[in-house]
Chain A
Amino acid sequence: MDWYTVLIIGHIVGTVLGVGGATFAEVHLIRALRDGTMSRDENSIMQATYAILRVGFFLLILSGFGFLVLARLEEHTGLLYSIKLWAKLGIVGIIGVNAVLLQLRWIPLLWGSAIAFTSWYAALILGALGRGEYSFFWIYVVYIAAIIIVYFVLRAIHARYIPHKH
């Protein structure tokens, strides 16, 4: 098996764990908070989900940089001029910063969830898109619009299933 195939497998596994982890983090959070409190078992499920998400994130970054190193060693640096690559790198950076902001509680949970959820799917979609002409500006316009839509969807779901404390 050549290095490129190894990196592709690592990148796909990282994306699957990350996107799956981000999806299940939302599902588990809503299920855990349905009765208004988070039990110890529910908390441990959340921690396990976040651990999987972090492994996915690390694999994604490691394999992503692996592609860049391979391109550098094989002198195919054209990859580094791809708008899609830089847009994706920016979104991966946003995932990392958002995780820190959520941990510090410097961002409301719903906005943090919307950013994490949308960013993982955005990274997946950008990775799956074929070669072509892309606009950095439009990628980010669609991405920000998607975050806002996901925020309102999550807010509606939380309002429907999670009891509010008065």
Chain B
Amino acid sequence: MSQFLATALVLHVVLGLIGLGAIHLTFMQVIRKQPPWGIVVKAAWIAFFGFLLSWMTGAYYYVVHYGVVVKPLIVSGEFPWAHQVFMEAKEHVFLLIPFLTVVALFAVYALRENENPALKSAASALIATALVLGILVAAAGVIISGGVR
């Protein structure tokens, strides 16, 4: 693997974790009785950029290296389901996360202006969905890495 691809893989993981940490912080603050909106908005922006950049670096690694070198190794190895189940699911679920974070951003800006309880509850559910999907995608990444043997 070239240095550039290795960097793309490292950035994909690190930026994804930063996005995950930020969306966790967003959720933990939004569900408070009196959310600190300044922190919530900043965390939502970090989550959006973290996931978006992780998406881009991951996509580059996937197209240039994973499909050509790693995927055949996994499929012909001991754990073909690491690709057939987990990567196939991950590559589709992951597409959704940056869009969820965009909607979360709009929602927290709207909530900062007007703390509508119904919107707060819907936004919390949306942010929780992004958080849970992010955790599942991260866990799938670990399983896929373990599938290369």
B25 touching A69 by the CB < 8 A rule? Answer: no
Decide if A34 is an interface residue (CB 8 Å cutoff).
no
Residues of chain A lying within 8 A (CB to CB) of residue B14: 62, 65-66
Closest B residue, CB atoms, query A99: B28
Closest B residue, CB atoms, query A71: B145
Most chain B beta carbons < 10 A, residue from A69, A75, A81: A69
Residues of chain A lying within 8 A (CB to CB) of residue B10: 69, 73
B13 touching A69 by the CB < 8 A rule? Answer: yes
Query: In the complex, A69 Cα to B5 Cα: how many Å?
Result: 13
B146 touching A81 by the CB < 8 A rule? Answer: yes
A65 touching B28 by the CB < 8 A rule? Answer: no
Interface residues in A66-124 by Cβ distance below 8 A to B read 66, 68-69, 71-73, 75, 77, 80-81, 89, 93, 96, 99-100, 103-104
B13 touching A65 by the CB < 8 A rule? Answer: yes
Task: Assign chain A's interface to a size class.
Answer: 20 to 34
B146 touching A80 by the CB < 8 A rule? Answer: yes
Q: How many residues of B contact A (CB 8 A)?
A: 22
Residues of chain B lying within 8 A (CB to CB) of residue A100: 27-28
Decide if A32 is an interface residue (CB 8 Å cutoff).
no
A68 touching B145 by the CB < 8 A rule? Answer: yes
Most chain A beta carbons < 10 A, residue from B9, B24, B32, B135: B24
Residues of chain A lying within 8 A (CB to CB) of residue B110: none
B17 touching A77 by the CB < 8 A rule? Answer: no
Residues of chain A lying within 8 A (CB to CB) of residue B27: 100
A72 touching B24 by the CB < 8 A rule? Answer: no
Closest A residue, CB atoms, query B21: A58
Contact of A73 among B1, B21, B32, B139 (CB under 8 A): B1
Decide if A54 is an interface residue (CB 8 Å cutoff).
yes
Q: Interface majority SS on A: helix, strand, loop or mixed? A: helix
> Count the A-B residue pairs with Cβ separation under 8 angstroms: how many?
49
Closest A residue, CB atoms, query B10: A69
Residues of chain A lying within 8 A (CB to CB) of residue B135: 93, 96
Whether A96 contacts B24 in the complex (CB less than 8 A), given A62-B17, A80-B142, comes out as: yes
Q: Mark B30-54, 1 if CB is under 8 A from A, else 0.
A: 0110000000000000000000000
What are 25 A-B interface contacts by the 8 Å CB criterion? A54-B25, A61-B21, A62-B14, A62-B17, A65-B13, A65-B138, A65-B142, A69-B9, A69-B13, A71-B145, A72-B9, A72-B145, A73-B1, A73-B6, A77-B145, A77-B146, A77-B148, A80-B146, A81-B146, A93-B135, A96-B24, A96-B135, A100-B27, A103-B28, A103-B31
Q: A68-B145, A103-B28 are in contact. List 12 more A-B contacts (CB 8 A).
A: A58-B21, A61-B21, A65-B13, A69-B10, A73-B1, A73-B6, A75-B148, A77-B146, A77-B149, A80-B142, A81-B146, A89-B142
A-B complex: 8 closest residue pairs judged by Cβ atoms: A80-B146, A72-B145, A58-B21, A69-B13, A103-B28, A62-B17, A73-B6, A65-B13
